[in-house]
Amino acid sequence: MTSTFKSDIIRPDEIERYLEDGADFIDEDLIHRTLAENRRPDRARVHDILAKSKNIETLTPAETAALLHVDDLDLLEEMRAAALEVKLKVYDNRIVTFAPLYMSNHCVNNCAYCGFRSENTGMERRKLSMEEVAAETRALTGTHGHKRLIVVYGEHPESDIDYITESIDTVYRQSVETRGGHSCIRRVNVNAAPMPIDHLRRLPEVGIGTFQVFQETYHRETYRRVHGSHHLKSDYRWRLYAMHRAMEAGIDDVGIGALFGLYDWRFEVMGLLHHARELERRFDGIGPHTISFPRLEPAQNAPATTDTRYRVGDADFLKLVTVLRLAVPYTGMICTAREPAAIRDETVHRGVTQMDASTRIGIGAYSADEKDGQHEERQQFMLGDTRSLDELIRDMARQGFITSFCTAGYRIGRTGERIMHLLRSCKEGHFCKLNAVLTFREWLDDFGTGETRRIGEELIRSELGSLAFNGKAQRRQFDDYYRRTSAGERDLYI
């Protein structure tokens, strides 16, 4: 079954068409050389690089390599401040939240770091039925108050493109009554294996948000070591060009990522940068909408998770987050609940824009009402932050960040070239702040509990006092929407 599945999926011509003189865009010697040549950047050079980044320009590989080597404590502090400045300029003080929904843990691959790997016989294999997808969605949007999901699939004929599209469609069809109105999932992002173009074309038809595939490691030898030589995922270039195919299939909102801890972290940051620049170069300036940088977590029967050679410590992790923010200033950055709460909170002050909350990664765990939600034999890896959405929103509000449930962008066509232009010119934050306030109003009325409500109301009051409008008509529209939202109408956006 696996070999036919493999030949059905991988189309060699959908790799070769993107190569240039037979080469792909990851030149390992060049990356190593660039890292070696930029080892000791002086203060003046670092200042020049930070100025470029604050001007919302993508950095070059040499500039990025220089920042990766900064060790001076004062300069590191300046980088942290510059990263926050860039984030506030592009995204304002908004933070976006989502929940992962694991649909199926069947997998034909045997990735040495993942609990879902085929050789892990200790894993309970399960795929959600459509009734279960509906129940999970209703729990996520009705109990926790989520509006955005990322749906996650193992790679297997059981979770093929038909299953993927049917399950996404099922998510969108759920609506739940709430305290103040009703709630539903308004944006479904997807994390799945690389697909051929004809499969990818079916994703915009069901209305997905971002399509994510992580390269895991950009280093070929490591890639081979952890993915073997005969699995679907063994093909480095099939994965490397997943986003090229997605763009060609009409998905102009893509997310890239690397799994930190498999190989040298500086090399992986350079890989991500080359990937972002390659997408910009090939697709009219449209780079990745998000970058993810998961750190390797313990997982059941996953040998790579106990190999500590390339483990990334907290200080290096925070540095790599800061450098990514500065190197690709327009991109969204995702820090997941793999990380402990204190680290996640710190990353928000260095440029992270999206976080998951009330996360459960066991298949069917949201509707099962399992209090702790952590079961090694059912989940891909172990979580570091188990805060509920209510708790996360409260903690963010205390630090001056407003949680936005705005999903207007992709629904009114602010994607691809349009969103890139708005992000680069720092105009995106403007619409989104108005929508952030409207959706935060909804959420507080529908789901906020005691202390979260109190702090949330304070934050809304201060935001209402400082909103900037694009003319009187927009002000009138906002006031009208705010009044109607407070009265129980839902999903009004500008």
Task: Give the Cα separation of 293 and 269 in Å (integer).
Answer: 9
Provide, rounded to whole angstroms, the least separation between the CB of residue 304 and ligand SAM: 8
Q: Does 396 bind ligand SF4 (CB under 6 A)?
A: no
Total binding residues toward ligand SAM, as defined by CB under 6 A? 21
Strands 182-183 and 187-191: unpaired
| 3-class SS of residue 474 | helix
- Residue 117 binds: one of ligand SAM, ligand SF4, none (C-beta under 5 to 8 A by kind): ligand SF4
In order of 194, 367, 434, 476, the CA distances from 382 in angstroms are 24, 19, 36, 48
Contact 300, 115 (CB under 8 A): yes
- Identify which range of 82-90, 170-178, 189-197, 276-284 contacts ligand SAM by CB under 6 A: 189-197
Q: Does 338 bind ligand SAM (CB under 6 A)?
A: yes
223 versus 482: smaller Cβ distance to ligand SF4: 223
- For the chain, how many residues are written? 494
Provide, rounded to whole angstroms, the least separation between the CB of residue 305 and ligand SF4: 12
238 versus 443: smaller Cβ distance to ligand SAM: 238
Residue numbers 222-261 binding ligand SF4 by CB under 6 A: 233
| 3-class SS of residue 333 | strand
| 3-class SS of residue 425 | coil
x/- track of binding to ligand SF4 for residues 92-121 (CB under 6 A): ---------------x-x-x--x-xx----
235 versus 445: smaller Cβ distance to ligand SAM: 235
> Among 15, 31, 171, 193, which residue interacts with ligand SAM (rule: CB under 6 A)?
193
Q: What is the largest CA-CA distance in the chain?
A: 63
Q: Does 381 bind ligand SF4 (CB under 6 A)?
A: no
Residue numbers 194-223 binding ligand SAM by CB under 6 A: 213-214, 216
Locus of tokens 């490691």: 217
- Residue 297 binds: one of ligand SAM, ligand SF4, none (C-beta under 5 to 8 A by kind): ligand SAM
Task: Give me the half-sphere count of Cα atoms (radius 13 Å) on the Cβ side of residue 490.
Answer: 19
DSSP for 289-329 reads: SEEE-PBP---TT-GGGG--TTPPPHHHHHHHHHHHHHHST
> Among 38, 97, 290, 305, which residue interacts with ligand SAM (rule: CB under 6 A)?
305
- Residue 259 binds: one of ligand SAM, ligand SF4, none (C-beta under 5 to 8 A by kind): ligand SAM
Residue numbers 149-178 binding ligand SF4 by CB under 6 A: 154-155
Residue numbers 155-174 binding ligand SAM by CB under 6 A: 155
Residue numbers 3-62 binding ligand SAM by CB under 6 A: none
Locus of tokens 């590989």: 61
Residues ≥6 apart with Cβ < 8 Å to 20: none
In order of 184, 336, 407, 453, the CA distances from 296 in angstroms are 32, 12, 30, 35
Provide, rounded to whole angstroms, the least separation between the CB of residue 305 and ligand SAM: 5
Q: Does 395 bind ligand SAM (CB under 6 A)?
A: no
260 versus 478: smaller Cβ distance to ligand SAM: 260
- Residue 103 binds: one of ligand SF4, ligand SAM, none (C-beta under 5 to 8 A by kind): none
- Identify which range of 161-169, 299-307, 387-395, 451-459 contacts ligand SAM by CB under 6 A: 299-307
Q: Does 254 bind ligand SAM (CB under 6 A)?
A: no
137 versus 217: smaller Cβ distance to ligand SF4: 217
Task: Give the Cα separation of 235 and 342 in Å (integer).
Answer: 37
Task: Give the Cα separation of 246 and 196 in Å (integer).
Answer: 8
Q: Does 463 bind ligand SF4 (CB under 6 A)?
A: no
Residues ≥6 apart with Cβ < 8 Å to 380: 102, 105, 114, 115, 116, 299, 361
Q: How far is CA 355 from the centre of its chain?
A: 8
x/- track of binding to ligand SF4 for residues 51-90 (CB under 6 A): ----------------------------------------
Q: Does 137 bind ligand SAM (CB under 6 A)?
A: no
Reading phi first (left if > 0) and then psi (alpha if -120 to 50, else beta), residue 261 is in left
b/e burial code for range 331-351 (CB count within 10 A of at least 16 → b): bbbbbbbbbeeebbbbbbbbb
379 versus 485: smaller Cβ distance to ligand SF4: 379
* Residues making contact with ligand SAM (CB under 6 A): 113-114, 152, 154-155, 191-193, 213-214, 216, 259, 294, 296-297, 299, 302, 305, 338, 380-381
* Residues making contact with ligand SF4 (CB under 6 A): 107, 109, 111, 114, 116-117, 154-155, 233
